[in-house]
Structures are given as structure tokens and as C-alpha cells.
Amino acid sequence: MATSAKRKAVDIAASAAKKPKNASITSFFSSPAGPVKPAAASAATSSSPPSSSPLASKDGATPKTPVSTAAIFNPSTSAPGPSSAPTPKFDKAKWVEKLTEDQKMLLGLEIETLHESWLAQLKDEVLTKEFLELKRFLKAEHDKGEKIFPPAPDVYSWSRHTPLNTVKVVILGQDPYHNDNQAHGLCFSVRPPTAAPPSLKNMYKLLKTEYPDTFQPPPNNGGLLTPWADRGVLLLNTCLTVKAHNANSHANKGWEKFTQKVIDIVAKQRTRGVVFLAWGSPAQKRCSKVDKARHCVLQSVHPSPLSAAKGFFDCGHFTKTNEWLKGRYGEDGAIDWNLNISPKAAGV
């Protein structure tokens, strides 16, 4: 009981610090106002989990992300709150100073909302021809008046909820949800009051089978997975944006290369080992080069109602994940899969 209460208290603090705000899609293309200052930790105001908490990385500290919102978000809103991960060799301000004005314009969202632990590793990738062409495509879509999901501040919410040094599990999705009040940057997850989509309900069904006495889904038939992300589960889609009401509309525009780089970074940097949950053939292909001597790759059919009955309900992936993590990280390395946290406590 004490452990559960402590974990809930940590979840409240961590999720509240990362609550995304709505913004115009123009924030995809705005450059930051003024110089970007390096991250600085503040013990007095920190809302990051303590080093002893299940949300804190076994690797160590939990640094802050700068909050600069003038150009990226509407003046009445604030940027998503700080997360923690060390980036001692990356001087963000100097990196930004070296960018051309065109690059600053195209990469405004990355500069302001991609967590610094990830930007330090992806700084070369975002300057590639392919990625800049992707950003030009998104700008062209905006200029035509197209509505894009998720909201701009949420595109990189996965990076803020799960800084690089906290990753212990990766769950791979495909396309963001393409209807209103659904996508918020974490695969499979939806914010309340949106009900859990069918694939997520099948994940709950498996969890209830594996943890019949302890697992509880979110309140009110919800689908909010931020507690998992705050505990070290990277919830990553293959494509990070989609045109409203048009599934797969941003496929093969450049996101695939970028998110593959994210997977490769996790596989390279997280040397203590990570569990990759690869559900469906697309996810399995993306994990094909992961070093299975260092990491654990669990494969199954996708939890979609179209395929779940063909083996997903028997895969046992959530308990297998924790068994493997305990072997690498000790008893405290297991993920708490429980989701029975009020939206307010989860920072929504």
C-alpha cells in the first residue's frame, strides 16, 4: 500500500509537469523568439521524480528542459513542462546560433518542444535534406489550410514524458489517430473524455489476464497512457503527424526515417537494455536490427480487432517485459502497468 501511494504521488508530480497545451498549427513553422537558453535545474521548483522513484532513471539525474514559448505557442498558453535527462555535451544555444534563418523557421517546433535529451542525439538528423523536406511539406499543408493532428505542442510529447535516459520499454505504433480529441503524441493513447479505442481496449484485456488482481484501466473507460510514459515506456508512432480525418496521409513523407533514428538511438544508448514490444509486421521490421543480445524484442500480432484473436491475447508480453526488466534492473526495474489515475492527477 505504501509503495502504491508513493508511486501515485510521483505520477501526479511528473504528469503535471508535462501537461501539453493547445496551439495553432502555425507553431510547426515559427522560429523561437530570441536566443535559446540551456536547460537549468532548479531544486526549488523541480517537479521531476526523485532519484529513488520508479519514474527516475537508474542511470542517474533528471535535468530540466527550458520553457520558452513566445513564438511557438499562443501568448495565452505555456509550453509543456520540464522533464529530466542529462545533456552535458550539447550546447543547445550554440547549436541554434549556427542554424540558418530558414532552418530556424522550419525547426521551430523541434527547438522548442523536443526534449533536450533527444535533441542532443537528433540534432544532425533534423538537419538532413529529408527532414527539412518533411517540414516544408508540413508548412505547405498548413498554408493550404489543412488541419493536422496531433496539436503542434503534442507532436513530441513522447520525448518530454520519456526522456532518453529513462527509457526501459518501447511500444511502437503506426499512424496518429486522425479524428478530433484523440492524438496527443503518444501511440495508442487518447486524452479524456475520449474513450479508449478498440486496440487499446484489447491491450487492457491482455493486462487484465496477466495481472487480474492489480491492473486497472483509466477511469471512465478512458485511454490516457501518460502514466506509462512517465514510468519509462516510450510510446512512439512511426508517423508523428496526420491530416485530419485522413488516415496515413503523412506516410512516406519523412517521419519514418526520423522515428527509425529514434529507435536506433535507444538501441545504441540504453546499454542496460530495453524491451521492444513489436506488435504487427511493420513494428517488427523496424526492430529487425536491434541487438537481441543487449535488448529484448517481443513480437506478436497487432492488438487491432482485425488481428488480436490470432495470438495477441496469448502473448503474455506485459509480464514477460517485467520478468526481463527485473533480470536487468533488479526488482525495482519492473513497470507498474496500472492506469487507474484520475485525469487531474495525470496532469490533464
pLDDT tens-place values along the chain, 348 residues long: 444 444 444 454 454 445 444 443 444 544 444 443 333 332 222 223 333 332 333 333 333 333 332 223 222 233 343 344 444 589 999 999 999 999 999 999 999 999 999 999 999 999 999 999 999 999 999 999 999 999 999 999 999 999 999 999 999 999 999 999 999 999 999 999 999 999 999 999 999 999 999 999 999 999 999 999 999 999 999 999 999 999 999 999 999 999 999 999 999 999 999 999 999 999 999 999 999 999 999 999 999 999 999 999 999 999 999 999 999 999 999 999 999 998 777 766
| Number of compact structural domains in the chain | 1
User: Is 332 designated active site?
Assistant: no
The span from the CA of 308 to the CA of 300, in Å, is: 9
For residue 348, tell me if it sits in a domain.
no
For residue 39, tell me if it sits in a domain.
yes
For residue 204, tell me if it sits in a domain.
yes
Tell me, rounded to whole angstroms, the distance of Cα 298 from its chain centroid: 19
For residue 112, tell me if it sits in a domain.
yes
| Three-state secondary-structure class, residue 298 | strand
For residue 19, tell me if it sits in a domain.
yes
For residue 103, tell me if it sits in a domain.
yes
Residue type, 98: K
For residue 344, tell me if it sits in a domain.
no
Q: Contact, 305 vs 197, CB < 8 A?
A: no
Alpha helices in the chain (DSSP H): 2-17, 92-97, 101-106, 108-113, 116-122, 129-143, 157-161, 198-210, 226-230, 255-269, 281-286, 317-329
The span from the CA of 10 to the CA of 2, in Å, is: 12
Catalytic, out of 11, 154, 175, 230? 175
The span from the CA of 174 to the CA of 330, in Å, is: 32
Tell me the residue range of the domain where 316 lies: 2-333
CATH number of the domain residue 164 falls in = 3.40.470.10
